[in-house]
Chains A and B, each alone.
Chain A
Amino acid sequence: GEDVEQSLFLSVREGDSSVINCTYTDSSSTYLYWYKQEPGAGLQLLTYIFSNMDMKQDQRLTVLLNKKDKHLSLRIADTQTGDSAIYFCAESILSGTSYGKLTFGQGTILTVHP
């Protein structure tokens, strides 16, 4: 079955890099997403990667995918206080019974200290 796991908390100092980790279950045709949620708001799409890729970079964000270990990470360079939020990893499996469905991790609360 589908199961996505994340560590619950991460605390970093402003200007440092943050690395948020996630493990997923299905390594076939899968899209993996990172979303950010600020208090009282919806989910903001940060980036996504297909399971046949190893890495994707978008400005301060770097996504690394280890297909063998089914491990996904999101690195935020030069972390700012405005990056404090909950970050969700989500899996979308391209198969009939799972089409159109995102399975989310529990979310990682990132706290950035000045």
Chain B
Amino acid sequence: KAGVTQTPRYLIKTRGQQVTLSCSPISGHRSVSWYQQTPGQGLQFLFEYFSETQRNKGNFPGRFSGRQFSNSRSEMNVSTLELGDSALYLCASSQSGSGNTIYFGEGSWLTVV
């Protein structure tokens, strides 16, 4: 059974640009959530999607957005990139979002220069 797949693994963007990250969950999983990991702030929750609906959102500015498609694949977008957006972005997959196994992908390393 394939795990959680995130693309791209590494990317470098310039301030002011936008970026789109992709996550393919484990087959049969309908919940996808996103996290930002930085040395200073640790792991912070961005948002969670279930059956194409955003159910929960963390405390991030509106520049951070996401969506989920009918096949449960999810994308997150960051517009008007800032240096502080440099981070590891992790995607998590589970059957229902809570109360069961939650698996993470290898992450997308974003560097903003």
State the interface size on chain A (CB cutoff 8 A). 26
Q: Is A103 an interface residue (CB 8 A)?
A: yes
Contacts A42-B90, A99-B98 known; A104 to B56 CB distance under 8 Å?
no
The listed residue (B4, B42, B50, B104) touching A100 by CB distance below 8 A is B50
- Taking a contact as CB atoms closer than 8 A, the residue among B31, B48, B58, B104 that contacts A43 in the complex is B104
Quick one: CB contact mask for B27-68 with A, threshold 8 Å, 1 for yes?
A: 000010101000000110100101000011010000000000
User: Which residues does chain B contribute within 8 Å of A104, judged by CB atoms?
Assistant: 35, 42-43
* Residues of A19-69 contacting chain B, CB below 8 A: 31, 33, 35, 41-45, 48, 50
Q: Mark B69-107, 1 if CB is under 8 A from A, else 0.
A: 000000000000000000000101000011111111111
Q: Which residue in chain B gives the minimum CB-CB distance to A95?
A: B98
Q: Name which residue of chain A comes closest to B101, CB basis.
A: A45
Contact A106 B98 (CB under 8 A): no
Instruction: Please name all residues of chain A whose beta carbon is closer than 8 Å to the beta carbon of B45 when the two chains form the complex.
Output: 101-103
Extra contacts, 8 of them, besides A100-B55, A102-B92 (Cβ < 8 A), are A31-B99, A35-B104, A45-B102, A92-B102, A94-B98, A99-B55, A100-B31, A102-B45
Enumerate 25 A-B pairs (CB-CB under 8 Å) in ascending A order.
A42-B104, A42-B107, A43-B92, A44-B104, A45-B101, A45-B102, A88-B43, A92-B98, A92-B102, A94-B99, A98-B98, A99-B48, A100-B50, A100-B56, A101-B45, A101-B48, A101-B56, A101-B98, A102-B33, A102-B35, A102-B45, A102-B92, A103-B45, A105-B42, A107-B43
Name A's B-contacting residues (CB within 8 A). Answer: 31, 33, 35, 41-45, 48, 50, 88, 90, 92-94, 97-107
Residues of B within 8 A of A (CB): 4, 6, 31, 33, 35, 42-43, 45, 48, 50, 55-56, 58, 90, 92, 97-107
